[in-house]
Amino acid sequence: MKYVLVTGGVVSGLGKGVTASSIGVLLKACGLRNCQYHPNTHFNLFGLDPYLNTDAGTMSPFEHGEVFVLDDGGEVDLDLGNYERFMDIKLTRDNNITTGKIYQASVGSVIDKERKGDYLGKTVQVVPHITDEIQDWIERVAMIPVDGKEGPVDVCVIELGGTIGDIESMPFIEALGQFSYRVGPGNFCLIHVSLVPVLNVVGEQALDDNVKGKLSQFCHVPEQNIITLYDVPNIWHIPLLLRDQKAHEAIFKVLNLQGTTKEPLLKEWTSRAEICDGLHEPVRIAMVGKYTGLSDAYLSILKALLHASVDLRKKLVIDWIPACDLEDATEKENPDAYKAAWKLLKGADGILVPGGFGNRGVQGKILAAKYAREHRIPYLGICLGMQVAVIEFARSVLNLRDANSTEFDPNTKNPCVIFMPEGSKTHMGGTMRLGSRRTYFQIKDCKSAKLFICGFNYVEIIISKASYVPQVYNITSAFIEQRCCRLAKPFALCVIRYGNRTFIDERHRHRYEVNPDMIARLENAGLSFTGKDETSQRMEIVELPNHPYFIGVQFHPEYKSRPGKPSPLFLGLIAAACGQLDTLIQGSGSQGNLSAKLGNGIAMEKVYQKGTTKPAKVLSDGLYSYCNGVQV
């Protein structure tokens, strides 16, 4: 087992997470040739966060950015989201170690062992007991593959959160120092990310040889091991910067892997980065939220929007709208902010209302949903965004003026959204409905089902010695070959059914749900709950059938979006905002060819939601092969 540790200095927020993720991408692209290693490198990644919290679940987005949710329900730092997106892997809560977990929060923690007498009367101390627990945790979990492949893990990348010198980090630094001796020479590589200010320069630039020479002299690091990560147009360039400066060669030299690897193959990354840089035709999405002053609070949503817009060859433009600025109170208190917010909302091609907690800005989110519904603007509501859409519909269509969520009005006579029975009102941490849950489609021809099932994300391919299947459920062999990684024959298409209903697995994080007692009234008035849980009592997806694109989901589809494999719902939002939704859905038919339908590189006129036409040039190499864990 080889370990790569990434630390940071000077200030927090330098980009250790992106650096660690990019190193993982680079090493994975190199592969390993020696018979001791598998042809495809197996990876594991760790995030070490020295704060005393058990996890990130109770932290304010203003203070720490978004809370990223894993399949097993772990609430973790946003850097683990970077790991999953860059490496296309699935991590677990054990891949995130906090001081709180080490001391007390987990079974087998230091305090738990002390209470059981496992230390045999010894004085329990930071060294060796805390440091040993950190090392044991890393060594134990590092052996578990997270890339879905069989075989032992070859490389484990570890990111130490915070800044070197922080008091809270000292036990982790000591533990990792001891760990480097535990695993032995040639098995541990330290990478330190720091800030080198360059005077009289706007932004960042590559360091010249003189600066590298001084750093090498005073830090005792070989000059060729000093890598410059300067400002780039998009973060997909970071693995390319590392490759161009031979970072992989320096790492393999420290890990004694020279001669066992190949040159990194990053054609897909290079193409994606260049395509993103060359996009010019904008699509404007209004983000109506509570934490719009800090974009990291919605990092996964931003990435999911970017994944979808790049796939549809559109330049993403986010219009940040504080939800409270849309409210009537702001019109009186700050008319300029009110006018500016509504101007942005009315100029958007699509509207997205993300999740959130607390009643600040809720009325503004309801107004945004109302505007999208009445003016037929593409709308995607996530978690709370779905709930406010239901509340707005009840108020406007059912004429229930006091319809509300019990989160905001416990005494409402028409509770559209209620507290979940299994939730806790006394403990905040880890008590929500968390992690991957199954949603069953109730209507096969609804937009969300078409995007998930009839779109490009619906197949799971199992390569086997079975005979070649030329046609399954009207999916032609040509379509399979074209969309599914050009798999070599023979292969079989595995199609899974659950009764007569199709289902998807998505990640959740919520305490409140749509009131099942109001479903019949809402559906009779025209709202369609197209996705439900296994009991059919918990609403997961809501749609307006006669609207161009009005979808609300209780889950968080942004957590599973990946570069090159965007979330279908985000893809649908961008496509609808550009007037391409029908083309996107129809492109998945039995003779589906999205490139042909969009023009094979020929400029076309696209009608946008605002009624304007914009020239669109669609690249002819837009072949998709999405396998995002969707079963049919």
CB 276 within 8 A of CB 233: yes
Chain-centroid distance of CA 354 in Å reads 14
Residue 32 DSSP code: -
Q: What is the C-alpha to C-alpha distance for residues 489 and 319, in angstroms, rounded to an integer? A: 47
Q: Which helix (H) or strand (E) is 170 found in, with range?
A: helix 170-183
**For residue 357, which of 62, 54, 49 has the smallest C-alpha distance?**
62
**For residue 510, which of 73, 43, 18, 124 has the smallest C-alpha distance?**
73
Q: What is the C-alpha to C-alpha distance for residues 607 and 560, in angstroms, rounded to an integer? A: 30
Q: For residue 132, give the amino acid letter.
A: D
Report in angstroms the alpha-carbon separations of 111 from 47, 93, 114, 299, 429. Answer: 22, 20, 5, 35, 19
Q: What is the C-alpha to C-alpha distance for residues 558 and 59, in angstroms, rounded to an integer? A: 19
Q: What is the C-alpha to C-alpha distance for residues 362 and 291, in angstroms, rounded to an integer? A: 12
Site of tokens 């459920």: 473
> Under 8 Å CB-to-CB from 286, ≥6 apart: which residues?
319, 321, 344, 345, 348, 350, 351, 352, 368
Pairing type for strands 539-543 and 528-532 reads: antiparallel
Pairing type for strands 503-510 and 433-441 reads: antiparallel
Q: What is the C-alpha to C-alpha distance for residues 589 and 74, in angstroms, rounded to an integer? A: 37
SS (H, E, C) 409-450: CCCCCCEEEEECCCCCCCCCCCCCEEEEEEEEECCCCCHHHH
CB 5 within 8 A of CB 182: no
Q: Which helix (H) or strand (E) is 44 found in, with range?
A: strand 43-49
CB 476 within 8 A of CB 321: no
Residues with a catalytic annotation lie at 383, 556, 558
> Under 8 Å CB-to-CB from 515, ≥6 apart: which residues?
415, 416, 417, 418
